[in-house]
Every structure is written in C-alpha cells, then in structure tokens.
Amino acid sequence: MEERRSKKIEKADFLSRLNEMAANLEKPMTEEMLIAQGVIFFVAGFETTGSTLSTFCRNLAIYPETQERIFDEIQEVLEATDGKITQVIILTNITYS
C-alpha cells in the first residue's frame, strides 16, 4: 500500500479503491485498518458466495425437475452459441422462465 502511494501507482482494483476512500476521510486510516477492511471484504464475499452456491446445489438436489429444466436451457444456449459461453451470453440468453 505504501509503495502504491509513494509511487502514485493506480490500478482498477480493490486496493486502489480502498486507498482512494482512505484518502478522502477526515480521520486517516492506519495501515492496520486498511488491512482489516481488506480481510473483512474477502471473508464476507467468500461466505456469501459459499452460502449461495450450497443453497443452489441443495435446491437442485431436492428438485430434480428444476435441475432438468436448467440443464436443458444451458444445453440449448450452448448449441446456439457453438459451445461458447461468456458472462454476456449467460446474462442475455439463460432466462429460466
């Protein structure tokens, strides 16, 4: 963090946003506070993702008909896009309606 500040290194990442936020506070954040914020951000993101994925998998196991519908829809999109899959394709083509 100190190296980024001293050399004025800016990237489009979490550390740069955290440095930017810290610079705009009335009371400056210590290095330890910045590290703590990064750890909290990482742990909180990991936990919510893990919980969401485990709930999703559980529901697929309990409701096989839903699992089949999702599988069929994914197969249709893969066939329509020659097996290519990107986030844009997922967001625009997989609707599960």
User: What pLDDT, in 10s, does the model give residues 34-75?
Assistant: 888 888 888 887 778 888 999 999 999 999 999 999 999 999
Domain tally, the chain: 2
As given in the structure block, the two tokens for residue 87 are 């986030």
- Pair (35, 77) in one structural domain: no
- Pair (1, 37) in one structural domain: yes
Residues 6 or more apart whose Cβ sits within 8 Å of residue 90: 77
Q: What percent of the chain has pLDDT over 70?
A: 98
- Pair (58, 70) in one structural domain: no
As given in the structure block, the two tokens for residue 57 are 């998998």
- Pair (46, 18) in one structural domain: yes
Domain containing residue 92: 64-97
Whole-Å CA distances, 30 to 2, 22, 61: 11, 9, 47
pLDDT in tens, 39-50: 888 888 777 888
Q: Is the overall model pTM greater than 0.85, yes or no?
A: no
- Pair (78, 54) in one structural domain: no
What is the spatial distance between Cα 28 and Cα 19, in angstroms, rounded to a whole number?
Answer: 10
Supply the pLDDT for residue 67.
94
- Pair (50, 70) in one structural domain: no
- Pair (51, 87) in one structural domain: no
- Pair (7, 46) in one structural domain: yes
